[in-house]
Amino acid sequence: MAKSLAQQIMDAHLREGRCQPSQEIGLAIDQTLTQDATGTLAALEFEALDLDRVRTQVSVSYVDHNILQNDFKNADDHRFLRSFAARYGLWFSPPGNGICHQLHMLRFGRPGATLLGSDSHTPHGGGLGMLAMGAGGLDVAAAMAGQPFYLACPQVLGVRLVGALPPWVGAKDVILEMLRRLTVKGGVGCILEYFGPGVAGLDVYQRSAITNMGAELGATASIFPSDQQARAFLEAQGRGSDYRPLAAEAGCTYDRVEEVDLSALEPLVACPSSPDAVRPAAELSGVAVEQVILGSCGGGSYRDLMILALALKGRHLAPGVELSINPGSRQALAQIASNGALADLLAAGVRLHQAGCLGCIGMSQAPATGTASLRTFPRNFPGRSGTTDDQVYLSGAQVAAATALAGHIADPRALGPYPAVPPEPALRLDSLVPPPAQGAGLEILRGPNIAPFPRLDALPADLACTVTLKVGDNITTDHIMPAGSQILPLRSNIPAISRFVFAGVDPQFAAKTQAAAPAAVVGGENYGQGSSREHAALAPRYLGVQVKIAKSFARIHRANLINFGVVPLVLADPADYGRLDEGQIIELPGLREAILAGREDLAAKLEGRPLGLRLLASPREREILAAGGMLNYIREHL
């Protein structure tokens, strides 16, 4: 039977289970990446496994999120990560070198390989024909230890591309069109596989911009074939030997298919405050904009920077508009410096920042109160920018250029002939530090902000939880565990960072949850969408949250909850959501026995009355929950 590309890669890496939809499978992982906002915790978790060295083909520790050094915390963590990488055999990328997904594709991406990253935008690598997936840091630490990555076998959603992109329409418009059609939960449980005659006209930078934002659909991964575009990209990076042709087998079928006519697309914009609130740029000309930012893992490539530079050449920003650029990599910055594009940008009035995530993670670049900001970022969740009640719009480089020149959201097709992007200059430049041949005996340098990993007890036989918070649909990990320059530096100190859990939703949450523990949180549909940050599971668990109840869960957050022994329960009858409220007691007698016995329907009572709750989990996940989390489970099995 003919197979899709995703199925071929999964079959080649299958270590446990059968590739049947919804069945748990274990995939061998070739490469891992971590970034500093999640990587310090992943490093501590790997240390807890008591191994001498990582057991992957390639593992890389990137510093790209917390690159502001307001005090000792971030600097100490960077030093910790560098010494950890040397000790255990990882490559290390220092601050200012670039964003993990851009750099990994440039230096280590390999068609047909599996990549697991502690960042939800790891599917960026799918633009080069990799099966690249985001996960919590504990899953990545386990993969670094040579363990398979476990997940429910995804369906494969085929996206057939036909036609060619019109002038001033870009890759970001393709993925925004997908978000407009499918919404932020339309890709849950799926790998999106792009195929068809339209694929050949997209280069790897464009493809990766599309696969990157597949995370906003809730997709497990997104992937393009490895063809002549992949070969040209790898040869330009001096890695032509890594190329191998890969594509879906002739006659393969997909679980379902979406067709996108590229020639029919127009410039699109995601409106506040969700990536799927998509409208044509031409309909938003009344929206005045004071801040425009070009950057992020999916919007700061050489191609993006060149589109902006060519559009702005000989022009100047509109009065009152600030345009910042955050290059995706040191290499891209050097390339536009070498061909004169950087000078054109500076002459137009652009503000240059270092290569890194910056405003995308709320690490500086917050917009002014009551103003609109347009960004080439992948997310615009409420308050993520660092400004309460922000108005953040998302677009590609084309709309960003037109908007910066007009002072309001603008259709770039009015700018005139579309300039051709020249081939990237032959510069391969970075500051990557390779691991030493032997790391045993090297000292790991720890600052005072790195606290010991908290001890998590096994699940008790019976449980009675107090509901300390009830929230609605599409709650993001930003709601649960906010980011930003004040909170992210505490990522290696769970007792300290836990004080900020749900701080923007209920400032009293941490205190009242610790007082009421064991506690439960109630949510609606798609609970936990967004970032892979496992702090959104671990910090609530530290406070005493033992159960989360929702209508449905986002994939990565659900996995993180299980990894830290928080039981993710689904309402058997979604109408029962209306019965639940803060302060109520949920009783779960015989919970541990029921979980280990494999029961889906659990006996529960709400204020003495029956409540239908379900646990949809594999036998392995049930053992992890009973053990109190994955670290306890792995220690028992290693």
- For residues 386 and 484, give the distance between their C-alpha atoms in angstroms, rounded to a whole number: 6
Q: Tokens at residue 51, please? A: 């191994």
Task: Give me the torsion for CA of 502, 508, 511, 517, rounded to 10°.
Answer: -70
Q: What is the pLDDT of residues 586-596, one digit of tens each?
A: 999 999 999 99
Max intra-chain CA distance, the chain: 72
CATH 3.30.499.10 is right for the domain spanning 5-264: yes
> Cα–Cα distance between 526 and 45 in angstroms, integer?
27
Task: Give the type of residue at 73.
Answer: K
Whole-model pTM over 0.85: yes
Cα distances (angstroms) measured from residue 434 to each of 59, 106, 292, 437:
10, 15, 36, 9
Which SS3 state, helix, strand or coil, does residue 195 take?
strand
Confidence (pLDDT) at 638: 61
HSE-up of residue 285 (Cα within 13 Å, Cβ side): 9
Which DSSP symbol is given to 531? -
Same fold: 268-414 with 463-637: no
10-residue mean pLDDT series, the chain (638 residues) = 97 95 93 93 90 96 90 91 97 96 97 97 98 95 95 96 98 98 94 98 98 96 98 96 97 96 98 97 97 95 97 97 97 96 97 92 90 96 90 98 98 96 91 94 90 89 97 94 84 91 95 96 95 91 97 94 96 95 96 96 92 95 96 80
pLDDT at 603: 87
φ, ψ for residue 52, nearest 5 deg: -90, -25
For the chain, give every domain's residue range: 5-264, 268-414, 463-637
Please state which CATH number belongs to domain 463-637: 3.20.19.10
pLDDT digits (tens, 9 = 90+) for 28-64: 999 999 999 889 989 999 998 889 999 999 999 999 9
Instruction: Let me know: does 396 contact 375? Beta carbons within 8 Å.
Output: no
By CB atoms closer than 10 A (0-12, 13-18, 19+), residue 320 is: exposed
* pLDDT at position 21: 81
Distance, CA of 183 to chain centre: 17
pLDDT at 611: 96
Give which of 308, 343, 307 is closest to 323, Cα–Cα: 308
CATH number of 268-414: 3.30.499.10
Q: For the packed helices 302-312 and 204-212, what is the interaxial angle rounded to 10 degrees?
A: 110
Distance CA 501, CA 517 (A): 15
pLDDT at 287: 97
DSSP helix, strand, coil percent of the chain (3-state; round to 5): 35, 20, 45
First to last CA, the chain: 38
